Amino acid sequence: MVITLNPKFVCEGLLPLLCTIVLFQSIAMGDFWISGSLPEVSPDEVPKLFRENLELRARTLEGKLSVDSEGNFHQHFEGEPGLFSLAFPGDHKISLAIDEGQRVVIQTDIKDHGALKIAGSPDTDALIAYESFRRESLARLVYPPRAALNEATARGVSAERLAALSEQEVEAYGAHRRELNDFTIEHIGKSVALYATSQRWDPDHRLSEIEDAVKAFSKNRPQAAISKRMIEKLQSFRRTAIGANGASLAGQSLDGKSHRLEDSKGKYVLVDFWASWCVPCRVENRHYVKLLDKHSNDNFTIFAINLDDSRSAWEQASKRDRVTWPQISDSLGWDSPMAAAYNVNALPMSFLLNPEGRIIAQNLRGAKLEAKLAEIFN
């Protein structure tokens, strides 16, 4: 149920308390129910329903389920559509995408060796299908070249071979993300599950069709928080598009010195996001050492942002890779505002800025980066 009222018109002449009630009702609210039977869950084990905020990587308690002695439960909730997780004791949880008015039923499927069976929510069905396809796509496209790269790194093969294997993994991950966009467009549509796919959208592949799905979704749910978040996500892509101004970045390096991206204005700057656990990033670090030496007399520098959540991991990797160019970190990992400023949700990722601070290229590595710099300085 969505009630839309003009606050100015409604509040004129009303008592403050009544005005507060009316304005509260203008928020998009709906009803949904979760019921089912899980005999293995005892009344002492209280399942909790959390609402997921993907942007903040946070969740808020929506409510608890009362379970009887036979494992039966039926609970009513009031709130807008969204992505949820139903958490059981023992760190077991179920991901749910629920629209208003839905009656979600969760039961144990005896025919499938006790696996959970979820019914009553087409949006959750879409979410389950997306996650299943995502895992299959990773296993098919990304894991084989990643395993080959890890094995080659352990064996200590030549730098040229490592660079080639690294590029294969990066290209495979790009193909994986394009497949996820395809699946989202062709199978998710304007379902609530669309929000769950937003963290992996590839802005360079069929983005206009993603935008159409978001417009259709938000048209029917203009007040929903996830509508606003998906619109903001699409807007963030424009901030890192070719021709956009690179966002400000500032922080401290390992030696405690302060560095700002703005201090490099007037030069061509490669803004590079990396982490110790990202093997292609580590391969590229070794390439950067040679690249900076090659262009030591040119108007070029590198400004790196480390996305480790451990300072010691950052320090060890930097020493091993001989990172001497300016780099900063807040040790917040994926929660770093610096990653959010450049819409970084996968590694490696880099942006080449011109002397005016505008983005002129993205994700150039190895030979492609060398070719671009040769084009610029020759």
Query: What residue segments make up the domains of the chain, in order of their start?
Result: 7-120, 140-238, 250-377
Dihedral over Cα of 54, 59, 64, 65: its sign:
positive
Q: How far is CA 161 from the centre of its chain?
A: 31
pLDDT of residue 46: 87
| pLDDT at residue 314 in the model | 97
* 359-362 β-sheet, strand order: 327-328, 300-306, 268-274, 349-353, 359-362
The pLDDT of residue 109 is 67
| Closest residue by Cα to residue 190 from 222, 207, 212 | 212
Over residues 357-373, the mean pLDDT reads 95
- Class in CATH terms, 250-377: alpha beta
In tens, the pLDDT along 31-86 reads 999 999 988 887 788 899 999 999 988 999 999 999 998 889 999 999 999 999 99
Out of 3.30.70, 2.60.420, 2.60.40, 1.10.260, the CATH code matching 7-120 is 2.60.40
In this predicted model, which residue has the larger pLDDT, 218 or 109? 218
* pLDDT above 80: residue 352: yes
pLDDT tops 50 at residue 265: yes
Q: What is the pLDDT of residues 300-336, one digit of tens each?
A: 999 999 999 999 999 999 999 999 999 999 999 999 9
- Bridge-based pairing of strands 58-64 and 48-53 is antiparallel
Q: What is the pLDDT of residue 38?
A: 86
CA–CA dist 170, 178 (Å, integer): 13
Q: What is the pTM of this model?
A: 0.84
pLDDT score, position 29? 59
